[in-house]
């Protein structure tokens, strides 16, 4: 049974997806946002102060950047918990079926992807610093940096896991059941993933051309998931990407405004680094992984149809007979 077919191990009525999406958004944005809201109010002067806090991303008004990062991640943790509850109690299936088609989660795949992308990200960032050293300022402060390191490694994977399991897991499987194919869910989840990043400050500074990177990255993660029949690789890549982004370089126009090692003071512009990952590095990584894991029948895995497993068809037929008999 392939990855998308794992959804057939539970209930898939359309209204259950609507209920679940509502609960996930409620847990993520409402319940998860309460600690951030309370903290913002405590560090502001009433409603006006809160508005000012929001405009400044809660930084520069007395809130430690590491605390702010943790509170932001906490929102995703509540979203992840809501997703787990929905899978278990609404869709009536095991959480593992959301992660992989294998009998158990393959953590070796996760860590392999994590290390590979961490190395690539560090090399790319280091090359950028060496090529334009005048744009970067060394910002190492022991206590804030090591606190950031701790928060990033312990909690950022929850944020990236929520995004992956929501888009490359829950929605990819759900749309697969709905459209009975693979390529439509891949396109939809990649585009929605990119559009949700449209609120990032990078998009405001660089323009909507930067959506090429976000949608392309979502497409990359989705392709990995379909070809490997599980999200382990995507989970590893995404976690490594965000951790390196948080601890290595920061700027006043990026989503991660942290006590990173370097501060980029250059004027933001669209350059080759925007398109290099999408059109060169991602395809190269897919090719490398296809050789390592022996992926076969790749065309069908990306464009093939989704069918109801035979065992599931028998269950549906039995239910239908019982209902008619009653």
Structure confidence by residue, pLDDT tens digits, 195-228: 999 888 888 888 889 899 999 999 999 999 999 9
| CA-derived radius of gyration, the chain | 21
Which residue blocks in 165-261 are alpha helix, DSSP H?
172-179, 183-196, 201-206, 211-228, 232-247
Cβ atoms of 233 and 289 closer than 8 Å: yes
Q: Is residue 249 part of a domain?
A: yes
Q: Is residue 223 part of a domain?
A: yes
pLDDT for 254 equals 86
d(CA 324, CA 326): 5
CB atoms within 10 A of CB 108: 10
d(CA 214, CA 140): 29
d(CA 9, CA 91): 9
pLDDT for 170 equals 98
Cβ atoms of 255 and 202 closer than 8 Å: yes
Q: Is residue 323 part of a domain?
A: no
What helix, strand, coil percent values describe the chain, rounded to 5? 75, 5, 20
Q: Is residue 324 part of a domain?
A: no
Q: Is residue 316 part of a domain?
A: no
pLDDT for 272 equals 82
pLDDT for 263 equals 95
CB atoms within 10 A of CB 128: 18
**Block residue for tokens 């508005």:** 51
Q: Is residue 226 part of a domain?
A: yes
Domains of the chain: total? 1
For residue 230, list its beta bridge partners: 100
Alpha-carbon separation of residue 124 from 86, 117, 251, 277, 285 (angstroms): 39, 10, 17, 10, 15
Question: By residue range, what is the domain housing residue 27?
Answer: 4-311
**Residue among 126, 164, 145 at smallest CA distance from 242:** 164
For residue 262, list its beta bridge partners: 138, 249
Kindly report, residue by residue over 18-75, the tens digit of the pLDDT.
999 999 999 999 999 999 889 888 876 554 444 444 444 444 445 789 999 999 999 9
Q: Is residue 325 part of a domain?
A: no
pLDDT < 70: residue spans in the chain: 44-62, 311-326
d(CA 205, CA 268): 7
Q: Is residue 320 part of a domain?
A: no
């Amino acid at each position: 049974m392939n990855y998308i077919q794992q959804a057939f191990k539970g209930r898939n009525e359309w209204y259950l997806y609507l209920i679940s999406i509502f609960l996930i958004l409620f847990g993520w944005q409402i319940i998860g946002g309460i600690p951030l809201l309370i903290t913002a109010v405590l560090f502001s002067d009433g409603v006006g102060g809160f508005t000012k806090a929001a405009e400044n991303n809660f930084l520069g008004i007395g809130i430690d950047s590491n605390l702010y990062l943790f509170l932001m991640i906490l929102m995703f943790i509540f979203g992840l918990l809501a997703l787990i509850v929905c899978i278990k109690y609404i869709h009536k299936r095991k959480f593992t079926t959301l992660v992989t088609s294998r009998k158990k989660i393959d953590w070796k795949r996760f860590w392999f992807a994590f290390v590979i992308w961490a190395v690539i990200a560090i090399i790319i960032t280091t090359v950028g610093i060496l090529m334009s050293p005048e744009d970067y300022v060394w910002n190492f402060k022991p206590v804030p940096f090591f606190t950031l390191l701790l928060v990033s490694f312990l909690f950022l994977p929850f944020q990236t896991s929520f995004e992956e399991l929501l888009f490359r897991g829950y929605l990819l499987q759900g749309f697969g059941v709905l459209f009975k194919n693979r390529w439509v869910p891949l396109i939809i989840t990649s585009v929605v993933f990119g559009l949700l990043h449209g609120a990032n400050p990078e998009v405001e500074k660089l323009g909507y051309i930067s959506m090429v990177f976000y949608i392309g990255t979502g497409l990359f993660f989705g392709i990995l998931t379909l070809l490997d029949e599980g999200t382990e690789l995507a989970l590893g890549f995404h976690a490594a990407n965000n951790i390196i982004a948080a601890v290595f370089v920061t700027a006043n126009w990026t989503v991660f405004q942290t006590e990173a090692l370097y501060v980029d003071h250059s004027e933001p512009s669209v350059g080759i680094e925007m398109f290099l990952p999408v059109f060169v590095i991602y395809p190269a990584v897919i090719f490398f992984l296809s050789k390592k894991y022996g992926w076969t029948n790749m065309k069908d895995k990306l464009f093939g149809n989704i069918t109801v497993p035979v065992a599931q068809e028998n269950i549906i037929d039995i239910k239908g007979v019982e209902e008619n008999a009653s």
